Amino acid sequence: MTIRKILTAPDPRLRKISEPVEKVDDELRRLMDDMLETMYDAPGIGLAAIQVGVAKRVIVMDLAEKDQEPEPRYFVNPEILNPDEKTTPYEEGCLSVPDFYEEVDRPISCRIKYLDYDGNPQEEEATGLFAVCIQHEMDHLEGILFVDHISRLKRERILKKLRKEQKLAASA
Ligand code: QAP
Ligand code: CO
C-alpha cells in the first residue's frame, strides 16, 4: 500500500465531478487500500478519491475510536436515499481544508446505497457521525467542500489563507 498526496483547497481538481465506477476489481481495491492508508496516516476519519486526485466515486471511512479495533469501510458509487427533513449542525473539518473547522447543517439521518469492497450492493441507514461523514464525503464526489456550506465571507477568508500558506510552502 502507498500513502498518496492529499490535495488541498483551493486546488481546482477538488472541484471535479467524480465518475461512476464501472467495475470493482483489484485495481480499484488497490486504490481503496491506498486511500485508507493515506487517511490513517493523516489521520482522518473519511476520504474521497478526488482528494488524492482520482475522480472516481469512491469513499473510505473509519469511525472507530482510538482505543477500538479499526473499522475500515468502503463505499463505491454511493447514493443517498430519503434524507431526513430535520437537520443538525456539526463542526466539520476536512483533510483538504487543513486546520479549519466550521459548523455545517445537514440532514440528521439518511439511507445509503453503495457497492462494498467486494462489489456487492449494500443498503443501510446512516445516523449520527456516520450520517455527517457520508454526506460530507459524497459532497466531494460533486466537487463540493464543506466551506461551500458556510458564509461567503468565511469561505473566502479560509481559501485566501490556504492559498497564502501554499505559496509560502512552495517558495521555501
Ligand atoms: C470529514 O474529515 C468529516 O483540519 C472527514 O488538520 C468531518 O477526516 C466527517 C483532519 C467532520 C465528519 C465530521 C482535518 C485532520 C481530518 C484537519 C476528516 C486536520 C487534520 C478530517
Ligand atoms: Co473532506
DSSP string, the chain: --PPPPP-TT-GGGGSPPBPPS---HHHHHHHHHHHHHHHHTT-SEEEGGGGT--BSEEEE----TTSPP--EEEEEEEEES--S-EEEEEE--TTSTT--EEEEEESEEEEEEE-TTS-EEEEEEEHHHHHHHHHHHHHHTT--GGGGS-HHHHHHHHHHHHHHHHHHHH-
Q: What is the pLDDT of residue 117?
A: 98
Q: Whose CA is closest to 71, among 114, 40, 26?
A: 40
Written as nine digits, the cell of 47 is: 476520504
Which residues, in sequence order, are CB contacts of 67 under 8 Å at separation 6+?
none
Atom of ligand 1 nearest to the CA of 97: 4
Ligand 1 centroid to residue 18 C-alpha, Å: 20
Report pLDDT for 119. Answer: 98
Q: What is the dihedral of CA 141, 142, 143, 148, to 10 degrees?
A: -120
137 is catalytic: yes
Model pLDDT, residue 1: 87
- Determine the distance separating the centroid of ligand 1 and the alpha carbon of 24, expressed in angstroms: 26
| pLDDT, position 172 | 83
Catalytic residue among 102, 103, 137, 165: 137
What atom of ligand 1 comes closest to residue 137's alpha carbon?
Answer: 1
Residue pair 3/141 in contact (Cβ under 8 Å)? The answer is no
137 C-alpha to center of ligand 2: Å? 6
* Nearest atom (ligand 1) to Cα of 91: 11
Ion ligand 2, residue ranges at CB < 5 A: 94
Q: In the numeric block, which cell numbers belong to residue 122?
A: 449494500
Q: Is residue 112 a contact partner of residue 76, using CB atoms and an 8 Å limit?
A: no
In tens digits, what is the pLDDT along the chain, a chain of 172 residues? Answer: 899 999 999 999 999 999 999 999 999 999 999 999 999 999 999 999 999 999 999 999 999 998 999 999 999 999 999 999 999 999 999 999 999 999 999 999 999 999 999 999 999 999 999 999 999 999 999 999 999 999 999 999 999 999 999 999 999 8
